[in-house]
Structure 1
Amino acid sequence: MIPLIGIFLAVTMGGNLVPGGIMTFYVHDDDLNTSHRGIDEVSTAGLLTFTLGGVSISGPSKIVETGVNSGVFVGKIDIPTTINGRDLRQGDTLVIRYNDASDHSGNAESTSRSVTVAKTETSLDTSAKNVRPGQTFQLRIYSPNYNMDSRNADNIPLSSFEFKASNGIKTTLANKAFDATTTSLRETGDNTNMFVATIKIPKAIDGKTLKIGSTAEIKFRDSTGPSMTTETLKMKIKIGSR
């Protein structure tokens, strides 16, 4: 949680904030904890306001204490797919403003936290950004939408990842030159949403040499998000000499 004057207001989520999704947030204010032997429920009217892309939206009618005498309250917001008749765009910002009637000094205090909307719950990353020929690195994807079976590990084919470099090199990570030990990114457990593969950077691909010091791009197109559009994720790595 993030410390503020008199309260804590924290915004958390499982993955990115996406159109059509749900965002969970927490408010920590001991002044709202009035029943020290029970779980409090507090109306959000006048206490919390919510705007998305500069437009006021509806939030939960109440927030509920997470446990007896915790002073921490949780709420959930349904994220719309459109605002003011237009589709929600990547970069639109959700702002939650908390209006505290009395802070630790007895004064009214207002504060806010914000989260930027993303079009996909999927995120792409690598274990290294500078990889020399012959060296391996991990390619990682976090994606709840590719977790089809919560009781078994899932896979994302390497052929889904485009690799583009200088010298006109354009292929997929399924190319044998990458000497991958698997044909797919494999989920790290039965229900982790994290997919990983180990890739080796070759000296050449299809007869074309990878230039030392050049930059290569890994591209993945994701069509699984709630926005029902195809979003392109990109990751750049440097072909290093050491």
Structure 2
Amino acid sequence: MIPLIGVFLAVIMSGSVIPGGTVSFYVHDDDLNTSHRGIDEISTAGLLTITLAGTPIPGPSKIVETGVNSGVFVGRVSIPETINGRTVQQGDTLIIKYNDESDSSGYPNTASRSTSVAKTESKFSISSTKIRPGQSFQVKIYSPNYNLDSRNADNISLSLIEFKGSNGVKTTLANKAFDPRPTSLRETGDNTNLFVATLKMPKQIDGKTLKMGSTAELKFKDSTGPSRTTETSKINVRIGS
């Protein structure tokens, strides 16, 4: 949450610094709120200085008010995969500076926030490893890397989780046979990093019957880590009680 009471300027960053990803940031400055019945869009020329590992990187051309008369503006920074001829790595620091021409006292002021590239691993789990056809189960992924905006719940596509049965069945959990609710892994709230979906184990997938007592494999491939390597998590599920 942005602390609005008694604060005239705040810069808050959300999301992990992931090479090739984006980081959202918020600026609270009532001086930029010039249209009290509309949503303001402000050019960032002269307002922002953004560096990664001490090197300037491009920022957004504008920041946009989050709502009518809110005085809070959001922008997004694209994180490069390389900088100064090397790969962006763990420990590199992103710094966003906001240059306020006139603060509450009428003087120029600079506010800054920083965050570093950190190694974050996704955690993949399910509610049960023994599931009967027709039985509901939950799939959970804990991953700060998929948390792109702390003020809004994000999603992870179920197509990233592969389902492989013992009788040649191969699909993803996005298959309608699983009756997913919702249709993607939905973050449980703003900035929780936990994504959940409820599915139902089908009796058949694409015309092939799941055999009672057989084993199916769920596989999640995650390539969002700072190293940009793909990490694979596997869970074996027994079909039936």
Q: Common fold, TM-score beyond 0.5?
A: yes
Residue 149 in structure 1 maps to residue 158 in structure 2: yes
CA distance in 2, matches of 1:104, 1:79: 32
Compared CA separation, residues 147 and 70, structure 1 to 2 (3 A): closer
The residue number in structure 1 matching 2:85 is: 85
The residue number in structure 2 matching 1:72 is: 72
Q: Could you tell me how far 1:224 is from its partner in structure 2?
A: 2.0
CA distance in 2, matches of 1:147, 1:6: 35
**Contact 2:122–2:222 (Cα < 8 Å) also in 1:** no
Q: Could you tell me how far 1:188 is from its partner in structure 2?
A: 10
**Contact 1:18–1:119 (Cα < 8 Å) also in 2:** no
Q: Could you tell me how far 1:118 is from its partner in structure 2?
A: 2.9
Aligned identity (percent) is 54
Describe how 1:171-210 pairs up with structure 2 within 5 A.
190-192=184-186, 194=195
Compared CA separation, residues 118 and 225, structure 1 to 2 (3 A): same
Question: What one-letter code is carried by the residue in structure 2 that aligns with 1:63?
Answer: I
SS at 1:27 equivalent: strand
Compared CA separation, residues 229 and 98, structure 1 to 2 (3 A): same
Structure 1 vs Structure 2 CA RMSD: 3.7
**Contact 1:119–1:225 (Cα < 8 Å) also in 2:** no
Describe how 1:27-176 pairs up with structure 2 within 5 A.
27-120=27-120, 122-124=121-123, 141-143=141-143, 144=146, 147-149=156-158
CA distance in 2, matches of 1:53, 1:222: 29
**Contact 1:2–1:10 (Cα < 8 Å) also in 2:** no
SS at 1:192 equivalent: strand
Question: What one-letter code is carried by the residue in structure 2 that aligns with 1:9?
Answer: V
Q: Could you tell me how far 1:79 is from its partner in structure 2?
A: 0.7
**Contact 2:19–2:228 (Cα < 8 Å) also in 1:** no
Q: Could you tell me how far 1:192 is from its partner in structure 2?
A: 2.9
SS at 2:70 equivalent: coil
The answer for unaligned runs of 5 or more in structure 2 is 125-139, 148-154, 165-179, 188-194, 198-219, 233-241
| Partner deviation per Cα, 1:60-106 (whole Å, 9 max, x = no partner) | 01101111111111111111001111000011111100111111111
| Partner deviation per Cα, 1:38-79 (whole Å, 9 max, x = no partner) | 211111111111001111100001101111111111111111
Aligned residues: 163
Compared CA separation, residues 108 and 90, structure 1 to 2 (3 A): same
The answer for unaligned runs of 5 or more in structure 1 is 126-139, 158-186, 197-220, 233-242
Compared CA separation, residues 70 and 118, structure 1 to 2 (3 A): same
SS at 2:31 equivalent: helix
CA distance in 1, matches of 2:156, 2:61: 32
Greater displacement, 187-196 / 36-45: 187-196
CA distance in 2, matches of 1:109, 1:83: 29
CA distance in 2, matches of 1:156, 1:74: 38
CA distance in 1, matches of 2:231, 2:161: 21
